[in-house]
Structure 1
Amino acid sequence: MRIAALSAALVALAGCVSTPGEPGLPGLPGTQGEQAANQNDCAVIAAVAKGHYQFGAGNTPPPLWLFSEGGDWKPVCEWSRYGVSFPTTYDPNRPHQPGDRVQWVQFRKPVYDGRGATIEAGILHGPLAGMGVRCRVVSGIAGWTLAGQCENTWIS
């Protein structure tokens, strides 16, 4: 009788255990639907925007450019939820007029692993005035945050 009750309790507890890919775990990409993955992507981007670039009330970001190699990554983010604002977006396919100031802050699709995420970002202030970085971001009680300094990847 005790063994049957113990077995039933263990089976019930096993149903409560989550694996790292399940969407219920904070900070890890979900396996069910793009909504969960997009929300993690949005939170990772916001962590770099606030932590590395210091975007906020006194530092408005240039137009936002979300970039992926295949062009199929298009997260929909409610930026105010993450405490950051991107008032304009950058369209690389829009023709520019002579004298137009080309500026952007670019975020590539984050890559997740067992320790958090790595994301590449870059900022262009004008012709030959920009730099790229690779940042490690971790998830914890306070949400997604930078794990130390970002590493420079390119400078123009």
Structure 2
Amino acid sequence: MPRSSAVLIPLLLAGCAATAPLPDPAGPVMANGNDCAVIAAVAREHYKFDTADNLPPPLWLDDEGSGWAPRCDWSHYGLRFPAIHDPARTPASSQPLRWVQFRQPRYDGQGALIDSAIMHGPLAGNGIQCRVRSGFAGWTVSDCRVTWVN
């Protein structure tokens, strides 16, 4: 074997073995083109908003001050939200306090974690965190746990 090949092989193998660290699910959020699909998976599979008898409340995409604002074609995912909730605008006392909230998904080696919440009224709601995985059928919810109850 020529000497140049003997030098290159270990370098090439070292380059293949080096991998970038996976993002920490609790770490910073980064923009990702899958955000809409992850949100839609939770809306369909956990909340069952794709059924005719379970229409969703207004949608609130909570950016937590980061400027995250995905532009999603919800009809592409079989969803129809009646309105987008503006968290800066306080609802009038005659308006019911109803919304479903999604925060930006956090991606890791297992897929994505996403925090969500739903309010049915002033003292009726709960928060969840879901693990969503990517596969042959697209993004699917593997499990959700309740994080708070009101």
- What band does the TM-score fall into relative to the shorter chain? 0.7 to 0.9
Q: Which amino acid aligns with 2:119?
A: L
Q: String of CA shifts for 1:13-65, please: whole Å, max 9, x gaps.
A: xxxxxx99xxxxxxxxxx9xx6xx24x00000000000100002221100000
SS of the equivalent of 2:57 reads coil
CA RMSD, 1 decimal: 1.8
Gaps of 5+ in 1: 1-18, 21-30
SS of the equivalent of 1:76 reads coil
Match of 2:130 among 135, 144, 147: 135
- The worse-fitting range, judged by mean Cα deviation, of 116-125 and 74-83 is 74-83
Partner of 1:106: 101
**Quick check: 1:46 aligned with 2:44?**
no
Q: TM-score scaled by structure 2?
A: 0.76
Q: TM-score scaled by structure 1?
A: 0.73
CA positional deviation for 1:87: 2.1
Q: Which amino acid aligns with 2:145?
A: E
Partner of 1:7: none
Report how many residues are paired. Answer: 122
Gaps of 5+ in 2: 1-18, 21-29
Percentage of matched positions with identical amino acids: 56
SS of the equivalent of 2:86 reads coil
Equivalent runs, 1:54-73 vs 2, <5 Å = 54-56=48-50, 57-73=52-68
Q: Which amino acid aligns with 1:67?
A: D
SS of the equivalent of 1:147 reads strand
**Runs of 4+ deviating beyond 4 Å:** none
State the alpha-carbon separation in 1 of the partners of residues 40 and 142 from structure 2: 14
